[in-house]
Amino acid sequence: MDKNIISDLDNFPEEDKQRMSTMADQLQIRDSLRMYNSLVEKCFKECVNTFYRKSMTKQEETCVLRCAQKYLRLSMQVGLRFSDLNQGSSTTDK
Amino acid sequence: MASNISPSAFDKEQIFGMAEKEMEYRVELFNKMTQTCFNKCVDNRYKESELNMGENSCIDRCVSKYWHVTNLIGQLLGSGKPAM
């Protein structure tokens, strides 16, 4: 968030801080649900390709779990790098 | 806006609107970056659930380049120059 907005917030009464906090919470809930949906779609597309039976095979199930776990780990790592970039610290090339 | 003076109702609404849009933009940017880097960096055979060394290196570089591209295009659009 811009420093201007943050400094303006300091002058706000408590109810406005509450409003900002509510807005952020709602955004987080929406984002979590969106991530859940896109993760299901992504891993289903990657891992489920045959439809001889309606039940999942062990291989499909394992694939889905690995797909999801990799995504969550990647998301965490991107989050760390994203924070670095937002704070303007220079990243050394690897 | 002067400090120690409560902002007017109109200013408050503008600030809240701007703050909300900025939050949404950052979340969207993060999501797009994550999805893009997942598609480019992760081996889709899913042999294990951990990210391997190659994937980890790729992710770091992918984020850095994605950020760079975001800035490049932002500057291009912001400069008002028409696209070639």
What are the boundaries of each domain within chain A?
A: 3-87
Q: Does the pLDDT of residue A94 top 50, yes or no? A: no
Q: What pLDDT is attached to residue A84?
A: 87
Angle between helices A58-86 and B53-79 (to 10 degrees): 50
B17 located within any domain: yes
**A87 DSSP 8-state letter:** T
Find which of A78, A87, A90, A94 to mutate to test the B interface (most B CBs within 10 Å of its CB): A78
Interchain contact, B19 vs A16, CB within 8 Å:
no
**B79 DSSP 8-state letter:** H
Written as six digits, the tokens of B1 are 């806006």
- Choice between A67 and A19, residue whose per-residue pLDDT is larger: A67
Written as six digits, the tokens of B83 are 């696209």
B47 located within any domain: no
Residue with tokens 């503008």: B14
- C-alpha B43/C-alpha B57 separation (Å) is 13
Residue A14 banded pLDDT, cuts 50, 70, 90: confident
Find which of B16, B46, B53 to mutate to test the A interface (most A CBs within 10 Å of its CB): B46
Q: Classify domain A3-87 at the CATH topology level.
A: Helix Hairpins (1.10.287)
B69 located within any domain: yes
- C-alpha A91/C-alpha B60 separation (Å) is 9
B9 located within any domain: yes
Nearest residue in A to B57, CA atom:
A94
B84 located within any domain: no
Residue stretches of chain B with pLDDT short of 70? 1-7, 80-84
Written as six digits, the tokens of A4 are 């201007």
Q: What pLDDT is attached to residue B84?
A: 56
B46 located within any domain: no
Question: Per-residue pLDDT tens for A27-80?
Answer: 889 888 988 998 999 999 999 988 888 899 999 999 999 999 999 999 999 999
- Chain B interface residues (partner A, CB cutoff 8 A): 1, 3-7, 12, 15-16, 18-20, 22-24, 27, 30-31, 33-35, 37-38, 41-42, 44, 46-51, 55-57, 59-61, 63-64, 67
- C-alpha B42/C-alpha A72 separation (Å) is 12
- B22 close to B30: Cβ distance less than 8 angstroms: no
- Choice between B64 and A10, residue whose per-residue pLDDT is larger: B64
Query: B13 contacts in A (CB within 8 Å)?
Result: none
Sequence-distant (≥ 6) Cβ neighbours of residue A84 within 8 angstroms = A91
Domain enclosing residue B34, as ranges:
2-40+52-79
* Number of domain units in chain B: 1
Of B31, B37, B64, the CB nearest to A74: B37
Average pLDDT on A6-10 reads 59
B63 located within any domain: yes
Q: Does the pLDDT of residue A6 top 60, yes or no? A: no
Report H helices in A1-94. 3-10, 14-47, 58-86
